[in-house]
Structure 1
Amino acid sequence: MGRLIGILLVIWLVIGAFAAFQRGYFDDTDTNCSEVSDIALNIVAGPLNYTGVNPKVTCTDIDAPEPSS
């Protein structure tokens, strides 16, 4: 039973990676927090991407404190 679940999980993630590829997420080399999050979320959403789910993530860049001089 565990082997079947593992196989289904791998298939799910492969379908999700293919959906992210079709949306062109892997084409852009200039990435930011939002793009990386969108890629990961699309891979995890897997086959749901083909049912109209379009997961998006918005990130707010947190300003890091400046080092003291």
Structure 2
Amino acid sequence: MGRGTGIGGVILVIWLIIGVIAAGQRGYFDSEDTNCAKTGTILVTIVAGPLNYLGVNPKINCDLPEPSK
């Protein structure tokens, strides 16, 4: 456990911060309407991090079954 672990952790934190900034710039945090697809899209955008600035635009679709009546 040398410097590689510390540097990797710093890179990971910076990567995730860039992802949060990208999600904020796309307006994903502005709406109060929350559903599976929106939450998934926000999480994937954060994980994609800097790739968002290279043109990656992740979207998640969730089709949940409706309860029977």
Normalising by structure 1, what TM-score?
Answer: 0.90
Structure 1 Cα separation of the partners of residues 68 and 7 of structure 2: 48
> What letter is aligned with 1:25?
Y
Q: Over residues 5-25 of structure 1, what are the superposed CA-to-partner deviations in whole Å (9 max), with x where a residue is unaligned?
A: 000000000000000000000
Q: Displacement, 1:64?
A: 3.9
Task: Name structure 1 gaps, 5 residues minimum.
Answer: none
- State which of 32, 45, 56 in structure 1 corresponds to 2:48: 45
Task: Give every structure 1 segment of 4 or more consecutive aligned residues whose post-TM-superposition deviation is greater than 3 Å.
Answer: none
Aligned residue for 2:62?
Answer: 59
1:9 to 2:19 alignment? no
The sequence identity of aligned pairs, in percent, is 53
- The aligned length equals 66
TM-score by length of 2: 0.90
Which segments of 5 or more consecutive residues in structure 2 lack a partner in the other structure?
A: none
